[in-house]
Structure 1
Amino acid sequence: MGIPLSPRPARVIDLETRRRRQQARRRLVRLAPELDGLEMVYHLPQEDDAYFGMPLLAWGLREDGEVVGLVPWMERLTPCHLLDDPEHGHFVGYRDPETEELFEAPPDHKVVELHQAAAYFEYEETREPSLIQQLPETQGTHALCMDDSGDPWQLKQVFGWRLYSDGGIEALLADEQRVDSTPILPGDDCLYPGHSRHRVVYFFQRQIANRIRREDPATLEALALMVMPPDTES
């Protein structure tokens, strides 16, 4: 007669804890500015054979060791490979406009730079997010800032970017009432993180910001559609 086997205890899988760990490994731990004019290439589905280039602002090292290109896109500084939107575009790769070379992976010299910098600058884990790095803005990026419903939006120049220990990145904007010297530089007392004061922050390249300032009709129409509250759409 066989010996009855006791049932094995069921393993409890904490999916939320696993998800948080995976997110933590994807968080950015170091930034390096892109100073050689390399671009992100993306494709718009509605443009069959059209590809577009956008200057890279920086490269970022994630905790899992992967290096990603970063561009100001919509509401945040976005890893290029995450651009996969049927309306706004799909990431294709990177491009050197001087040689017209297309490549899929970040260049080796940026990978080495970021890994070396991360090894040199070690930061202690803190309960609250702390500032670990600050970059100047080099492309003339602007932010469209919106507060409570009904308040007028503001178009403000971005003066820098802050990386925090939780992987979050904030754009630095200027409080015009506190500017006491020019040019404005990262570290000046007049600067503040965009989301500390504004409910929504959208990023635009310099040429689009200039069209908004000139009140270009087509640009303002597209802007109105973008910022229109969902319950007011027809």
Structure 2
Amino acid sequence: MTPRNPGPSSTAKILPFPAQRSKTEQRKILRLSPEYDGQCLLYKHQALSSEKLYAIRILCWARLADGRTVALVPWLGGVSRCIDLDNPQTGQASGYYDPKTERCYSAVPNHHITALDTVLENAPPSRTTNSQAVQEIPDMIGSHAAILNDEQEYVLESVVSWQLCDNGEMKAMLADPKKITQLPVLAGDPCLYAAQDNSGFRYYFQYHIANQIKNGGAMSTRALNKLLHP
């Protein structure tokens, strides 16, 4: 039997396969909910100890493009989502910790989920991919940026706030001493600039480490010099 030729009048169509979003697009940060209650991220770091859990204060909670809500923490040279910390040798997220009640838990607090839902309802994310700021939150955890100055000496600058840009990038905002016109310096002040724009920027430190370095602790100073001068 001769196969039937559908001819030019056939209505058959070839449908394109749905485009798959890359892992980077799925993990894009859309909006932030500041952490005001001192909650911490628990993590393992087997290079330090195979038996202990360590705690680091959470900067904020974020809604990602894939719908997940995750904790964000300043981590070395950037801001990490808790799901990015997945290597026990260098840092593996292991839940959350409330230092006030000494309670460990694994679920994102409901009030942060509600807050992020509300923010996104009132200010949906744009489809642009530029570096325009869409949200700015104050730093509530005492973050510091370690910067190598022109004399090749390190200085520790307090982070005033954090900007979230359209492209999902987080920027730590520092105060330029030459441009300060009023105190205290608050989020959105014209004297602020992004730490990443300073060619001498190296790492972020939380307040307890920064204070040890400022107080001249020998071990902390050696560790900082090793990081800045590998």
**Structure 1 residue runs of 4+, over 4 Å off?**
17-20
Instruction: Quote the Cα distance in structure 1 between the aligned partners of 2:112 and 2:129.
Output: 30
**Counterpart for residue 202 of structure 1:** 203
Deviation at 1:87, TM superposition (A): 4.5
Alignment equivalent of 1:76, drawn from 67, 75, 78: 78
Q: Secondary structure at the match of 2:50?
A: coil
Instruction: Quote the Cα distance in structure 1 between the aligned partners of 2:129 and 2:110.
Output: 34
Where does structure 1 lack aligned partners over 5 or more consecutive residues?
A: 4-12, 230-234
Q: How does 1:1-234 map to 2 (within 5 A)?
A: 18=20, 20=22, 22-46=23-47, 47-126=49-128, 128-146=130-148, 151-229=152-230
Q: TM-score, normalised by structure 1?
A: 0.83
- CA 1:151–1:43 in 2, change beyond 3 Å: closer, same or farther? same
Structure with higher helix content: 1
Deviation at 1:151, TM superposition (A): 3.2
On the 8 A contact 1:70/1:80 being kept in 2, the answer is yes
- Cα deviation, 1:59-110, whole Å, max 9, x if unaligned, reads 0000111000011111112112222345443211111223333222312221
Larger Rg: 1 or 2? 2
Q: Secondary structure at the match of 2:111?
A: helix
- Aligned-pair Cα RMSD in Å: 2.7
Which sits farther off after the overlay, 162-171 or 139-148?
139-148
On the 8 A contact 1:31/1:114 being kept in 2, the answer is yes
Aligned residues: 220
Where does structure 2 lack aligned partners over 5 or more consecutive residues?
A: 4-16
Instruction: Quote the Cα distance in structure 1 between the aligned partners of 2:218 and 2:90.
Output: 20
Instruction: Quote the Cα distance in structure 2 between the aligned partners of 1:214 and 1:55.
Output: 21
Amino acid at match of 1:34: E
Instruction: Quote the Cα distance in structure 2 between the aligned partners of 1:173 and 1:183.
Output: 13
Instruction: Quote the Cα distance in structure 2 between the aligned partners of 1:221 and 1:126.
Output: 43
Q: TM-score, normalised by structure 2?
A: 0.84
Amino acid at match of 2:34: P
